[in-house]
Amino acid sequence: MRLTDRYGRLIKDLRISVTPRCNYHCTYCHPLGMEMADPPGTVSVEDVKNFIQAGVLLGAESIRFTGGEPLVRKELPQMVAVARELGIDDVAVTTNATALRKRLPELMEAGLRRVNISLDARDPEVFRQITRGGRIEEVWDGIEAVLEAGLHPVKLNAVVIRGMNDGEVVPLAELTLERPLHMRFIEYMHLNNAPFEEYKRQFIPGREIRAMIEARFGALEAVPTDPTSPARVFRIPGAEGTVGFINPVSEPFCANCSRLRLTSDKKIRPCLLTELELDIAWAFSADNPVEALVDAILMATDRKPAFGNTLPTRRERVMLGIGG
């Protein structure tokens, strides 16, 4: 079965947020303060299993676990295993990598194929400021663990913010020269309820980020990619890895969007940049949850908007709560 929405877009990628908690407090993502435990009603392994099973019946091809920080969930390996057992090959985790060295063996044993790691700076002090206290050594240790384990591709994500880490663009791109790392520069989206004027001052379009890299390394070479992938990918001539640009604000890729998100409090968010959420808690507690979740996913797909709102606006939920 192939699931398409009203605009003919194939829906095949499910992002599942497994917790609203995170051990980092990145300025662009997170209000201050971290809950010590997941709130009642947070998705369980059984819920995740039922949701993925419904997704598989509707043709889902990839599952990405996210959060919050998915590695704070001790059951994450069970969730990965469930996805693999249900026949999904492309199972990935988006993480800040701080617990990756410790948890990678159990995640790989469960069948994890890929990780996406957030890395917004190479300079330890800039990194500490953006993450509000993060220690970059922990992240490097996680990245090294993934490279040693031979997982690939290893994608690194940086949200670029003027006056904060724009000086890190060239050093981050440089990482791809000698190592098989795939650096993705993401445009800063207004998903943290920052004051509008401040946000507008701090926003940097992807073309400016690309120009910084080309000014240092010369013209980038295009690398062919899946058209439903949000990243436009390039290579610095001769580099081992790649650099990519995810430009949801200046070059929205809504026309190719193939994603649905499940939040950790059991809501489907058909579009990251639209407030609409469908509370589907009822489906998880139905007599036949898989059947009910198929209905819920169909309903959410039908309501997937043509475009997201990239303008600064008051958000009901910040990124941390949605699951990036």
Contact positions vs ligand SAM (CB under 6 A) = 22, 28-29, 66-67, 69, 94-96, 118, 157, 159, 186, 188-189, 191-192, 319-320, 324
Query: From the CB of 114, what's the least distance to ligand SAM, in Å?
Result: 13
Query: From the CB of 191, what's the least distance to ligand SAM, in Å?
Result: 4
Q: Which of 9, 21 has the CB closer to ligand SAM?
A: 21
Give the rounded distance of the alpha carbon of 160 from its chain centre: 15
Which candidate, 225, 219, 232, places its Cα nearest to that of 186?
Answer: 232
Which residues in the chain belong to E strands, given as ranges? Answer: 13-17, 62-66, 90-95, 114-118, 154-160, 181-187, 221-223, 231-235, 242-246, 259-262, 267-269, 278-279
Q: Which of 206, 241 has the CB closer to ligand SAM?
A: 206
Query: From the CB of 72, what's the least distance to ligand SAM, in Å?
Result: 9
Judge contact between 191 and 318, C-beta under 8 A.
yes
Query: From the CB of 272, what's the least distance to ligand SAM, in Å?
Result: 9
Q: Which of 43, 294 has the CB closer to ligand SAM?
A: 43
Q: Which of 13, 293 has the CB closer to ligand SAM?
A: 13
Q: Which of 294, 319 has the CB closer to ligand SAM?
A: 319
Separation of first and last alpha carbons in the chain = 27
Query: From the CB of 97, what's the least distance to ligand SAM, in Å?
Result: 8
Q: Which two tokens stand for residue 100?
A: 């990756």
Give the rounded distance of the alpha carbon of 38 from its chain centre: 20
Which candidate, 217, 207, 246, 250, places its Cα nearest to that of 324?
Answer: 246
